[in-house]
Amino acid sequence: MTNQYLTFSDNDKMPTLGLGTWKSKPGDVFGSVISAVKSGYRHIDCASIYGNEKEIGKALQQLFADSVVDRDELWITSKLWCDSFAPEDIEPAIQQTLADLQLEYLDLYLMHWPIPLKKGHGMRSADDFMDPVAQPFTLTWQAMSFLKEKGLAKHLGVSNFTEKKLKRLIEETNLKPEVNQVEIHPYLQQTSLVSFCHDNGIHLTAYSPLGSGDRPDPLKQSDEPILLENKVIIEIAESLSVTPAQVILAWINQLGISAIPKSINNERQVENLNATRVLLSRSQLQAMSELDLGRRYITGEFWVKDQGYYTLGDIWD
C-alpha cells in the first residue's frame, strides 16, 4: 500500500512527499516553490540555515494571493539552527523564520542537529562551539516545548538524532519528539533507527533521499557511489516503466517514511510527487533492502574540528 500522509496523535496529517529546499539557490527557490505547489505539493521543508526562507516566504505569499492554496492546506517545516540553542534564543529564532516565511505558525519545527554553536558563530573551528555539557540538547528540547503552547509550531521534532540520542532525550525530558528527520536512502537504510522510531511513535522524514548529488564539492567524497545509477534500482524502474528516483521514493514511502527530495525542475518535481503512486512488489522491496551500504552522503565531518568536542563516532553514536 502507498502512504499519502503520516498522521499525528492530534490527527494532523503530514503529506509523505515534500519538497526539499536545501541547495535551492536564491533566485531558484521562488520558482521552485511556486511550481511545486501548483503541481500538487503540499509539504515544503525549510530551514533558516539554508538562507532562502525569505524567498520561500515571497513564493508562499504569491500562492496565497493567487488562491492556489490556503495556509491550512500546506505543511511547512523549518528548523532551529544550532547557534540558537540557548533557551532565550529559541523564540527569537522561530520568530525570524516566521517573519521570513511570512507565516503565523509552522506545522513542524525541528532541532536541526544535536550540536550547540555559540550565538552568531559559524562552524569553522572548535572555538565556534558551545560546550555540550554546559548546553545539552536536552535543555534546548525542553525549552522548545513552549513553542507549541504559544501556537508558533503545531508539532516539534528533531533532526540528525541517533537511536542513542533519542533515548537520552526521552529519558531525560520525558518529551518525545514527533518526528526525526535523518538521511535515509537505499545506501543508508538505518533499519534499527527506523524500527526504534516506529516502535515509539516517532515519524521519520528521509532527507537526501536521492543521494544529494548537487551537494557542494567540499561535502563530497571522491569514491562515493552514485545512487541514481544503481543497477538494481534501474532494473526495477525499467520493469515498472518508472524512473530510478521514483523507485527510491516509492520504496521509502512503503516503509512508512516521508521523504523530501529537492528539485528545482518542474518535470522532476512532478515525477517525484507521482512516486507516491508507485507500488513495489515484495520481491522488489526485498531487492531494495539488500542495497544497504551504511553509506552516508552527509557525513557530518563538518562538525569535527581540531581540539573540538566531537568525533564522527560521537555524532553517529
Residues lying near ligand A2P in the complex (CB under 6 A): 20, 208-214, 228, 243, 245, 261-265, 268, 271-272
In terms of residues, how long is the chain? 317
The residue with cell 567540499 is 218
Active-site entry in 5, 41, 50, 297: 50
Nearer to ligand A2P, 176 or 215 (CB): 215
| Alpha carbon of residue 237 to chain centroid | 25
Q: Least Å distance between CB 133 and ligand A2P? A: 33
- Residue among 291, 312, 290 at smallest CA distance from 300: 312
| Alpha carbon of residue 180 to chain centroid | 8
Angle between helices 244-254 and 266-274 (to 10 degrees): 40
Q: Least Å distance between CB 264 and ligand A2P? A: 4
The residue with cell 526562507 is 53
310 included as an active-site residue: no
Using DSSP's 3-state secondary structure scheme, residue 264 falls into coil
Nearer to ligand A2P, 166 or 288 (CB): 288
The answer to whether 19 touches 45, Cβ cutoff 8 Å, is yes
Give backbone dihedrals phi and psi of 270, rounded to 5 degrees, phi first: -65, -45
Non-local (6+) Cβ contacts of 77 within 8 A are 18, 43, 44, 45, 46, 106, 107, 108, 109, 110, 181, 205
DSSP state, residue 83: G
Ramachandran assignment for 211, one of left (phi > 0), alpha (psi -120 to 50 degrees), beta (any other): left
Spatial distance between the Cα atoms of 209 and 215, rounded to a whole number of angstroms: 13
Using DSSP's 3-state secondary structure scheme, residue 232 falls into helix
Complete DSSP assignment for 119-157: TT--SSSGGGBPPTTTS-HHHHHHHHHHHHHTTSEEEEE
Nearer to ligand A2P, 71 or 268 (CB): 268
Nearer to ligand A2P, 173 or 205 (CB): 205
The answer to whether 118 touches 112, Cβ cutoff 8 Å, is no
Nearer to ligand A2P, 115 or 227 (CB): 227
Nearer to ligand A2P, 165 or 295 (CB): 295
Q: Least Å distance between CB 132 and ligand A2P? A: 28
Nearer to ligand A2P, 165 or 296 (CB): 296
Active-site amino acid positions: 50
